[in-house]
Amino acid sequence: MTKYAYGYAALTLFCVGIMPVAHAELAPISDDAMGEVTGQAFMQIENFTGQNLNGREQKVTRMSLGIDVETRVNVDDVKVGEINAGTDFAASHLALGHIARVNGEVYNGVTYNEGDAVPFEARRPYIELAEDAAGLAGFRMGFHEARGSVSSNTTSFSGNIGMKIESFGQVYDAQLFQGPGGAPTDYRATHIGLKPNNPNQAAGCNVGATLANCAPLTQLRSLDIGEDSGQEGVAAFTDGFFIGFQRDQDGVAWKTLDGTSSIAAGKGVYINLPTNMTVQLDQLTGAGLDRRRTHQVDMGTKLF
C-alpha cells in the first residue's frame, strides 16, 4: 500500500548504504555441514504498541539487522526537513569517525598511529515504523549499539544533544535554544547552553558577555557518541543514537530499546545524540570544542 512507501524506501536505502556488496555462487549444503552452523537471524522483526505525543495508540514495527558496521564517512552538506523558511537539520562537513592525528592516539581503549582511520562503530542497525489511523505517523533509523565521533559545522538542529556542561563546580544538563535571548527548544535550535538546576536560576541564552551561558552550535565541532563506561577515555556503546521523521505535530513517543521509557519527537526531523561528555562552560563559550581530523589532508582543529 502506498502509505508505507517512504518508510520502505528509507529501509532500502539504509540497508544498501551499510551492507557490503558480495558476489558468490549458490551451492547446496549437506545436513551434516548445516548442523555445525550456529548464528542468529539476519533480520529480526518486532511488533508492539506505542503512542503519539497526545497519548493515542500507534502500532509500531521494528526491523533489526544482525550485522555490525565500522565506518568513516564524510558528507559536504546536509539539509533535512527544509520547509517553511527553515531547516530542521542543517550542517556542513558532517563526518562519522575520524583519522588519528599523532602516533599513539588512544580512542575508546584502542591505540592508533598517525593517519589511521578511527571508525564509527555501530551494531544491529534498525528501522522502526509507527502507524496510526491516518497511516504512517513516522519512522526512525538507529542502532542497538553505537559509539564514535561525530563532527560537523551545524547551524540548525532538531532533537536532543545529551551533554553535560560544568560551570564553577556545578554540572548542568545541556539545553538547546532558539538563539541569543531565545527560548529553550528541541526544534531548529541554533545555540546550546546551560539548563537551570532549579527554578530560581535564570533561564535563557546569553552570549558574548561575562555572564555568557550559551554558544552557537558551531562551537561543537566534534562530539563523542556513547555512554559512561566508568573507565577514563572509554565510552560504552549507546542504544539511543537515532534519527526520526514524524508526520505531524502529534509526533511519536519513540520507546527506548529496553522499553522502559520514551523520547518525545514532534513534527519533522528529530536527531538523538547521546554523549558521555562534560564540557567546561568557558571552553564552550570561548574557543569551542576542537574538530577531530576527518580528512586525509589535516585541515586543523577548526577545519577552516
C-alpha cell at 252: 511519536
pLDDT of residue 24: 45
Residues in CB range of 25: below 8 A, 6 or more apart: none
Residues of the chain predicted below pLDDT 50: 1-24, 37-38
pLDDT of residue 240: 97
pLDDT of residue 53: 94
Using DSSP's 3-state secondary structure scheme, residue 291 falls into: coil
In angstroms, the Cα distances linking 223 to 29, 60, 120, 207, 286 are 47, 31, 12, 21, 17
- DSSP symbol at 260: S
Residues in CB range of 91: below 8 A, 6 or more apart: 77, 78, 152, 153, 154, 155
Average per-residue pLDDT for the chain = 87
pLDDT of residue 93: 95
pLDDT of residue 188: 97
Domain ranges of the chain: 2-19+30-285
- DSSP symbol at 202: P
Q: Quote the CA–CA distance of 25 and 29 in Å, as a whole number.
A: 12
pLDDT of residue 204: 83
pLDDT of residue 22: 41
Amino acid at residue number 232: E
Q: What is the pLDDT of residues 206-257, one digit of tens each?
A: 887 777 899 999 999 999 999 999 998 899 999 999 999 999 999 999 999 9
pLDDT of residue 196: 83
pLDDT of residue 150: 98
**pTM for the full model?**
0.84
